[in-house]
Amino acid sequence: MPKINILPDILCNQIAAGEVVERPAAVVKELMENSVDAGSRTLVVRILDAGRREICVVDNGDGMSPDDALLAIERHATSKIRAVEDLQHIQSLGFRGEALPSIAAVSRFELLTRERQATAGTRLVIDGGVLRDVREIGCPAGTQICVRDLFFNVPARRKFLRSQDTEMAHISEQFLRLAMAHPHIHCQLQHQGRILHDLPQASNHLERAHRILGLELSDALQPFASDHPAVRAYGLIGPPELQRGSNQHFFVYVNGRPVWDRILYRAIMSAYDSLLPKGRYPTAVVFLEMDPELVDVNVHPTKREVRLRNPAPVMEALQKAVRGALQDMHRQRWQRPLASQSETLRPPRWQTVQEQDAPITVGAATGGLDGIAPTAVNLETVAPAAGPPDSPGTPTFPWLQSTHAASEEVSFAGLPILGQLASSYILLEAPDGLIIIDQHAAHERILYERLHAAAGASGEARQRLAHSVVLEFLPRQGALLQQWIEPLGELGYEIAPFGGNSFALHAVPASLAAHHPVELLRDLVETAQEDEAMPTRAALSDVLAKSAACRQAVKARQRLVREEILELLKDLDRTLLSSTCPHGRPLWWKLTHAEIARFFQRSQAPGSLHQPR
């Protein structure tokens, strides 16, 4: 008897389910995608017990004929492609023909469907991959698929399901990610009969994004659009302060398909360059449209990654578009009129589900000054969704609450200087509060931007050293530098191997000539990590600018005279992106009159601070 068996279909489907149906949210994603592909105008997702008990997706799309309905549940059955060439220009979300049989293999599955012109519909029932019942039935046009008792026959999977809140958060996220890309479809998500999200038809993507992100949050976002031969990119870009430790507020789409693609992520995040610390994600909604032939979507079973046939121009165009949006945002920030009377930035809706079991403590619970620590500019710490909107210590967002009229130019240098705190912070009086600037972070940012500009302007200009310098490194470092000779050469460092792990340095970049270029090079090599073995020229230039800025910036605990403070403020005003230091820490923060009044438990409006109660 041969040792090799051909596996029965049911088993194949269960194996495929292992990849495609990771958790209830994956079922929601696959069913919603099918409804989108079927041209639906409304799409309702009903969930019981976070998807363990039931997931129903009801649409009013094309529906299926009785024969198609039976085929749809067969393995590798799809109406979306016919031949291998079709893989090159896929317009639909699905094409693998795997989802329905996989889901039906690990649940109790019921499908009701009717084509619009047909008089009767079809009902199919499948239990753990076994077809139990097929019959004609009267039902509305469109398709309804209910998936009950998910993983009832795969106990190992069932055990891996997390708490209801966690599973529901994943479902919400999938729902919103797909809904974001299809504004013309009315999408609704219900849990235990309650409506969690109701997104009526919107006329375009931006309108849908505003609806999903909530008015106040989307008010802080900058719309952008860029047309490049390689890619059309548009969407909304958030300021660096709206960063998070997860990609929850980071929506990226390629031709309408939500993707979690590292390369695309990196292109967008690199536009923030030094404005986001490592491991943080921006708040942004980015739609990319390109020739389907230039994208390979068939690289991942759940289609969350894509492969670009020619990534470089796409990356470059994308980075430029996002960078432009960030600069526009910065220019407008001071001039932005008060967005709304409310000073708080309410978290987007899905956080109320998301963070139910772990309410974050910035709100009323902490109160006092702790609650308004500078880290508050990170949205993650701002989620007291359930708390009253003006609980003490609710952080505020400078760009949302400038009280100046749109035309009025405001600058740091124009504000009265109150003094210096702990020889580290500059205190300014703003019309609506107290501004605290971290002097080291601010100066670092100024120098960094300046070095960047200089490097851009002088290009590869180099300055020859009067006497060549020989640098010695450890073996690992020597090996790294050996690989960097060329990109560093493009920046202006002329380096030649000098035997073993020694290198002779003959020239340095003109833009760094006044910034201890030799030490910078040494720092660069000595602090490099293994995984940075092949950085680009731009990345190297960035690291050099950062470290030069850091070396030279005024330190904390350094007394500054008034003139020095004023000089720094003027420079800061000239700096394009002045809200965070090059390492991504915030560099200034405003404590508003209202916050001060709240701390002292005064009920008066900010203007009446001086009147006794």
Residues within the interface to ligand ADP (CB under 6 A): 30, 34-35, 38, 59, 61-64, 72, 77-80, 94-100, 143
Nearer to Mg ion, 27 or 220 (CB): 27
- The nearer residue to ligand ADP, 25 or 565, going by C-beta atoms, is 25
Minimum distance, C-beta of residue 97 to Mg ion, in the bound complex (Å) = 7
Q: Which does 259 bind (CB under 5 to 8 A by kind): Mg ion, ligand ADP, none?
A: none
Q: How far is the CB of 143 from ligand ADP (least distance, A)?
A: 4
Taking the complex as a whole, the smallest distance from the CB of residue 124 to ligand ADP amounts, in Å, to 11
Which of Mg ion, ligand ADP, none does residue 38 bind (CB under 5 to 8 Å by kind)? ligand ADP
Residue 511 site contact among Mg ion, ligand ADP, none (CB < 5 to 8 Å, cut-off depends on kind)? none
Dihedral sign for Cα 351, 357, 363, 364, please.
positive
Taking alpha carbons only, the member of 34, 70, 80 closest to residue 55 is: 34
Q: Which of 45, 55, 99, 221 binds Mg ion (CB under 5 A)?
A: 99
Looking up tokens 């363990």 gives 52
Distance CA 50, CA 497 (A): 62
The option from Mg ion, ligand ADP, none interacting with 247 (CB < 5 to 8 A, set by class) reads: none
| Closer Cβ to Mg ion, 94 or 509, answer by number | 94
Strand partners, 44: 58, 188
* Nearer of residues 103 and 495 to Mg ion, judged by Cβ: 103
Residue-level length of the chain:
613
Strand partners, 257: 254
Partner touching 97 among ligand ADP, Mg ion, none, CB below 5 to 8 Å by kind: ligand ADP
Q: Residue 572 in contact with residue 412, Cβ under 8 Å?
A: yes
Token match 């269960």: residue? 14
Nearest residue (CB) to ligand ADP, 141 versus 485: 141
- Nearest approach, Cβ of residue 193 and ligand ADP (Å): 22
Determine the residue type at 604: Q
Comparing CB distances to Mg ion, the nearer of 25 and 322 is 25
List the end-to-end C-alpha distance of the chain, in Å, as a whole number: 95
Query: Angle, to 10 degrees, between the axis of helix 537-552 and the axis of helix 517-527?
Result: 120
Question: Least CB distance from residue 64 to ligand ADP, whole Å?
Answer: 5
348 binds Mg ion (CB under 5 A): no
Q: Residue 260 CB, nearest distance to ligand ADP (Å)? A: 19
Which stretch in 86-94, 216-224, 393-401, 520-528 sits in contact with Mg ion by CB under 5 A?
86-94
DSSP H helices in 146-292:
155-160, 164-181, 205-213, 215-219, 262-271
Binding partner of 61, given Mg ion, ligand ADP, none, CB within 5-8 angstroms per partner class: ligand ADP
Q: What is the Cα–Cα distance from 480 to 28, expressed in whole angstroms?
A: 47
Pick the closer one to ligand ADP by CB: 75 or 570: 75
Question: If contact means CB under 5 to 8 A according to the sort of partner, which of Mg ion, ligand ADP, none does residue 59 touch?
Answer: ligand ADP
* Sheet hosting strand 462-472, strand order edge to edge: 462-472, 502-509, 494-497
28 versus 471: smaller Cβ distance to ligand ADP: 28
Q: Does 94 bind Mg ion (CB under 5 A)?
A: yes
Min. distance of Cβ 141 from ligand ADP in angstroms? 10
Burial class (CB in 10 A: 0-12, 13-18, 19+), 256: middle
Query: In 303-359, at which residue ranges do the beta strands (DSSP E only) sit?
Result: 307-308
Place of tokens 């994603």: 29
Stretch that binds Mg ion, among 88-96, 417-425, 438-446, 463-471 (CB under 5 A): 88-96
CA atoms within 13 Å, Cβ hemisphere of 22: 11
SS3 call for 263: helix
Asked if 34 touches Mg ion (CB under 5 A), the answer is yes
Q: Which is nearer to ligand ADP, 94 or 238 (CB)?
A: 94
Torsion angle of the four alpha carbons 291, 292, 295, 299, in this order, in degrees rounded to the nearest 10: 170
Contact between 454 and Mg ion (CB under 5 A)?
no
Residue nearest to ligand ADP (CB): 94
Residues contacting residue 44 through CB under 8 Å, at least 6 positions apart: 56, 57, 58, 59, 187, 188, 190
Q: How far apart are CA 469 and CA 460, in angstroms?
A: 20
In the complex with ligand ADP, the residue whose CB is nearer, 96 or 177, is 96
Q: Which residues bind Mg ion (CB under 5 A)?
A: 34, 94, 99
